[in-house]
Amino acid sequence: MSLTLLASAIATIYVTHRLVDYWRAARSINNHPGYRTLLAQTSSIGHFFPPIPGITPGGNHLFMNKYRMYEIVGCDIHSAVSAWPTATTTLFVADAAAIKQVALARTRFQKPVHHYDVLELYGRNLITAEGDEWKKYRKICAPAFSERNNRLVWEETIKIMDSLFEDVWGSKEIIATDHVVEITLPIALFVIGAAGFGRKISWKDGDLAPPGHRLTFKEALHVVSTDVFIKLVVPDRALGLTERLRSVKVAFEELKQYMLEMIDERQRAGNLEGRHDLLSSLLNANDLDSGESKLTVSELLGNIFIFLLAGHETTAHTLCFTFALLALHPDEQEILYQHTQSVLSRVGDAPTYDNMPLFTQSLAVFYETLRMFPPATGIMKTCMEDTTLATTDALGNQIVVPVPKGADVTMDFTALHYNPRYWDEPHAFRPSRFLKEWPRDAFLPFSTGARACLGRKFFETEGIAILTKVISRYRIEVKEEPQFALETFEQRKARIFKTRLGLTLTPIKVPLVFKLRETKTVT
């Protein structure tokens, strides 16, 4: 297949999916009184997909529309029907109790694992498995996310941030970036390198690959993490057609070689008790098992890679949204700064993992970011038998919704996080809501049930350490650009928070400035 044909095929798939999304969105408001009026006004093929006021179609529609579709329907469950490529019924759920029911009834609502086969880039893993296979992976992988590993995450993150300030930013009073992911992505990669693989990466590392390698570990990790979508959509036989595609091919081969070498090195070393990175812990847990329950080398590679892929991108993007929210809300940034300073005045300017629970405002800011920008906007399950889900409508009436066997059920985390039944002023950035009692069943950035995120504490530990170090030293502002000088606050917010749907919710361009504070350390 030529690149021209490939591009054409991808464009055709994209456009087709947008039309199908639009059709499904249109059909999903069948309970809305104005729906038949809209259809009655469409008298030509050109109006086959009637516009729905306030509704955005497309692959990112769950995040873009947030709770709007449920407001139109007047119920926290709504349905969509599509006729292509097969007849499909999908229920979208923004009711906390119903979502909990779907998540906990693992036999009745199962993960459609065939949708995730593309993530088997190195081997079977937690994300792509179900049933007994998933139980085996969970049993062996869970011990890797231990308190000892979380402590390592904190320590390595602090070292990485100190090195960034001293070796890269130095005494500069202003650090400007056109897209803050250029800063958060390498930080996240360095942390996962150290706490995930036991490979410490320095900001000052050179570019010379070791003998037997074409790339350094740092280079391979960076290319794999940033270009994973190329690997997902381009057939292996086409990865040699251009220089960019060849670099992706080489990076994936190099990372596999590095991981195989690390596995071999740790296994030959025998005693791994003194090492607490994820790879060592995973190998330790695997060695404790016997017989068929052991992970194969391919399964080891598949699982450690999925931790890398999910962990670094989630952290990098969430931090990007966090810094942007603080830049747009200087009052909340000042509250966070003052609280951070009050904690540092008690523990010193080198906080330890044991001090982490004291940074309650940092965690509140982090959680509010995750509420507003959940990494996974929704997760789909397939109903394996005829059943029902209960919810209430806008008037408070109890409604029982039939769910036929074979229907897809999407747990709509974005709509749940913006549901006014659970959150006051859901569109407002208010970290203080997490400093008091809050609706835990309506906050699911890490999913819920048995398949909830294993790396939640890893993620929180890394994020709070980074946020604490940055906010104690720098003030964050939106980068001023002449072409946007006359925009309103709402226009600026809309521009900064433009997103696309990648493996996780992805910011498109967030230009920020970090300004050195007068008070750099606490004595």
Going by the annotation, the residues of the binding site for heme are 453
Structure tokens at 303: 């699982």
Binding site as annotated, residues: 453
Q: What is the CA radius of gyration of the chain?
A: 24
Would you call the peptide bond into 85 cis, given omega within 30 degrees of 0 as the criterion? yes
Strand spans (E) along 29-87: 77-82
- State phi, psi for 110 to the nearest 5 degrees: -110, 155
Task: Compute CA distances 21 → 17, 149, 201, 377, whole Å.
Answer: 6, 42, 43, 15
Cα-Cα-Cα-Cα torsion 70, 76, 77, 79, nearest 10 degrees, comes to -10
* Cβ atoms of residues 305 and 263 within 8 Å: no
Q: What is the token pair recorded at 13?
A: 């798939």
Helical segments of 289-409, H only: 297-328, 330-347, 360-372
Can you give 192-257 as a three-state secondary structure string? HHHHHHCCCCCCCCCCCCCCCCCCCHHHHHHHHHHCHHHHHHCCHHHCCCCHHHHHHHHHHHHHHH
CB 419 within 8 A of CB 442: yes
